[in-house]
Amino acid sequence: MARKAQKRYLLPEDYMADPSVHVFDGKLYIYPSHDWESAAPDDDFGSEYDMKDYHVLSLEGKDPMTSPVKDHGVALDIKDVPWARRQLWDNDVVKGRDGRYYMYFPAKDKTDIFRCGVAISDSPTGPFVAQPDPIRGSYSIDYAVLHDDDDEYYMYFGGIWGGQLQRYEDNLAKDCGTSYPADGEPAIPARVVKLGKDMLQFAEEPKPVVLLDEDGTPIKVEDNKRRFFEASWMHKHNGKYYFSYSTGDTHRICYAIGDNPYGPFTYKGVILTPVFGWTTHHSIVKYGRSWYLFHHDSVPSNGINRLRSLKVCKLSYRRDGTIVAIKGLDKPAEPSE
Active-site residue, selected from the candidate residues 50, 230, 320, 337: 230
Catalytic annotation present for 215: no
pLDDT at 70: 98
Low pLDDT (below 50) residues in the chain = 332-337
Predicted local confidence at residue 178, as pLDDT = 79
Domains of the chain listed by start with CATH number: 7-315 (2.115.10.20)
Residue type, 108: K
The confidence score (pLDDT) of residue 336 equals: 42
Is 183 an annotated catalytic residue?
no
Catalytic residue, chosen from 18, 35, 90, 297, is 18
pLDDT at 331: 67
